[in-house]
Amino acid sequence: MTDTAPSGLMPFYAMDILKRAKALEEQGRSICHLELGEPGQPPAPRVIEAVARALPQPQGYTNAKGMIELREGLARYYQEQHGIAVDPELVLATMGSSAGFILAFHTAFKPGARIAITRPGYPAYVNTLLGLGFGIAEIPLRGANGWRLTGEAIAVAHARQAFDGLLFASPANPTGAAVDREQLADIVATCARLGVTLISDEIYHGLDYRGASVSALELTRDAIVINSFSKYYCMTGWRIGWMVLPEALIRRAEILQQNLFISAPTLSQIAATAALKERDYAEEQKASYAVNRQLLATGLREIGFELPVTGDGAFYAYAGISRFSNDSMSFCEAMLAEAGVAATPGIDFDRTDGAGFVRFSYAGTRASVEEALERLRRFTRAGG
Ligand SMILES: Cc1ncc(COP(=O)(O)O)c(C=O)c1O
């Protein structure tokens, strides 16, 4: 069932579920899409207007680091949201955070270096690292601890098998777990003590329901920070994100960008520059995710899914399915075929224990979450 390639690369099962869901829709079935980690809404109207204005002009490559207007906008973002000064020269616009990972790994590490990641975690971390010839060390997280990474867990994993880097996201995919300032300071200090380079994936910043997101840049300038316009600004397909690098690494990252990608897409950089000024629109989307978050958590618990904590941020619920199944892939297949609810099997995020979990995304509409819960009630009553 899990077709692991010899290299350790695995498919992204969410995409397989999506393909099946689309095929069912083509046959006329109605499907509730809770498998996708992307907002259902378009970017803010002013973002589209800015791109429409720019479209008739020639769109050449930009500076490899990105347009200065965008990098200055991002420096303002750090000042306004985090109260810190960031030099635009240390900012590099990327083709989504996905390209940021490639640049970060090759900038900070030599081939063969080992990078720690959390389990569960975003599947592309493992696949990108293995695909690029790096090693991985997994740090297991526990639902009872809110799925939060701690300095202690990092130290225990490092003592078991040393690693050179740590890549982690807060808020996280698939759990929504976010660390607060004190917990992040513990992680930063532990990495510094162990000589581990920290890569902080801050893609879900802004989508934190318990308080302001804390950037690693508030605590250290030795970390590589990766962020994106995909989630908070509703721009997944625009493929635009950014990195902030330590001074010692920026030139190497710039050279890699010149050669690997030349520059991030120009129209998307124009869109991103406009999006930074549209936080009111992004906050409206967040308010609807916040409603969905509560509805889904309450509904899933009533139905019998295990949700020890309601995720702090992002737009995911990572639910235990032990009442219904011990095979998340077959469970998701049956849930799709019989109930018309698409969700992602936990094996995407955790190759060891993921068979016991399913990730539900609540980035869609309230109506789709309500309808999915109703269908899940009937599906589980009928025996799952
Ligand atoms: C934790 C995390 N990081 C990075 C990404 C990739 O985002 P993008 O390349 O669109 O910026 C995702 C997408 O789901 C994610 O969940």
Give the tens place of pLDDT for each residue, 71-88.
999 999 999 999 999 999
Long-range contacts at 155-164 (CB < 8 A, ≥ 24 apart) = 155/190, 155/194, 157/116, 158/116, 158/194, 158/196, 161/114, 161/137, 162/114, 163/114, 163/115, 163/116, 163/135, 163/137, 163/196, 164/109, 164/113, 164/114, 164/115, 164/196, 164/197
**Protein residue closest via CA to atom 16 of ligand 1:** 173
Q: Is the pLDDT at 140 greater than 80, yes or no?
A: yes
Q: What is residue 304's DSSP assignment?
A: T
Query: Which residues are within 8 A (CB) of 86 and not within 5 positions of it... i.e. 6 or more apart?
Result: 74, 75, 78, 79, 217, 244
Q: Is 203 in the pocket of ligand 1 (CB under 6 A)?
A: yes
In terms of Cα–Cα distance, which of 297, 300, 299, 322 is closest to 310?
A: 297
User: Which contiguous run of DSSP H or E holds residue 267?
Assistant: helix 266-275
Answer yes or no: are the C-beta atoms of 201 and 308 closer than 8 Å.
no
Dist. CA 97 → ligand 1 center (Å) = 6
Three-class SS state of 124: helix
In this prediction, residues 10-24 reach a mean pLDDT of: 90
Determine the atom of ligand 1 nearest the C-alpha atom of 95. Answer: 9
Ligand 1 geometric centre to CA of 203 (Å): 6
For residue 97, give the ligand 1 atom closest to its CA. 11
pLDDT at position 15, please? Answer: 86
CA of 282 to the centre of ligand 1 (A): 17
Residue having the nearest C-alpha atom to atom 7 of ligand 1: 97
Domain ranges of the chain: 13-42+280-381, 46-278
Nearest CA to ligand 1 atom 14: 37
Q: Is the pLDDT of residue 2 over 70?
A: no
Which residues, including other chains, have CB under 8 Å from residue 360's CB and lie 6 or more apart? Answer: 34, 296, 300, 316, 317, 319, 343, 344, 372
Residue nearest to atom 13 of ligand 1 (CA): 37
Identify the pLDDT of residue 34: 96
What pLDDT, on a 0 to 100 scale, did the predictor assign at position 384? 60
User: Could you say which DSSP state residue 213 is in?
Assistant: P
Is residue 227 within 6 Å of ligand 1 at its C-beta? no
Task: Give the per-residue pLDDT at 4.
Answer: 45
Q: What pLDDT score does 44 carry?
A: 98
Strand, helix or coil at 179? coil
pLDDT digits (tens, 9 = 90+) for 193-232: 999 999 999 999 999 999 899 999 999 999 999 999 999 9
Contact present, 4 and 313 (Cβ < 8 Å): no
Q: Thinking of the domain 13-42+280-381, which architecture would CATH place it in?
A: Alpha-Beta Complex (3.90)
The CATH code of domain 46-278 reads 3.40.640.10
Closest CA to 201 of 104, 293, 84, 326: 104
Tokens matching residue 375: 């269908």
Instruction: Tell me what pLDDT residue 3 has.
Output: 44
Q: Distance, CA 226 to ligand 1 centroid (Å)?
A: 10
d(CA 379, ligand 1 centre) in Å: 31
Share of the chain above pLDDT 90, in %: 93
Asked if residue 203 lies in contact with residue 227, where contact means CB atoms within 8 angstroms, the answer is: yes
Where does the pLDDT of residue 14 fall: very low under 50, low under 70, confident under 90, or very high at 90 and above?
A: confident
